Amino acid sequence: MPARQTPGRSLVTRRAVVDVVRAATLGSYGVTGFTGGPVARSLARLDLAHPGLTVRFGDGVELELDLDVALGVPVAEVARQVDSAIRYALQRTLEVEVRRLIIHVGGLRVAPAGDPPAVVPSGAGVVRPRDLADSGTDVA
Cβ–Cβ under 8 Å, residues 63 and 103? no
Report the pLDDT value the prediction gives residue 104, as an integer from 0 to 100: 92
82 domain-assigned: yes
Distance CA 121, CA 119 (A): 6
118 domain-assigned: no
Phi-psi region of 114 (alpha: psi -120 to 50; beta: other; left: phi over 0): left
Report the pLDDT value the prediction gives residue 60, as an integer from 0 to 100: 84
- Which one-letter amino acid corresponds to residue 24? A
Structure confidence at residue 127 as a pLDDT band (50, 70, 90):
low
- Which one-letter amino acid corresponds to residue 54? T
DSSP lists the bridge partners of residue 104 as 66
* Domain extent for 56: 14-111+127-139
For the stretch 35-56, pLDDT in tens is 876 666 676 666 666 788 889 9
Distance CA 140, CA 103 (A): 6
Tell me if the pTM is above 0.85.
Answer: no
How many structural domains is the chain composed of? 1
121 domain-assigned: no
Cβ–Cβ under 8 Å, residues 35 and 29? no
120 domain-assigned: no
73 domain-assigned: yes
Residues 6+ apart with CB under 8 A from 44: 36, 50, 51
61 domain-assigned: yes
| CATH code of the domain covering residue 36 | 3.30.70.1350
Report the pLDDT value the prediction gives residue 118, as an integer from 0 to 100: 52
* β-pair type (53-57, 31-34): unpaired
4 domain-assigned: no
Report the pLDDT value the prediction gives residue 58, as an integer from 0 to 100: 84
116 domain-assigned: no
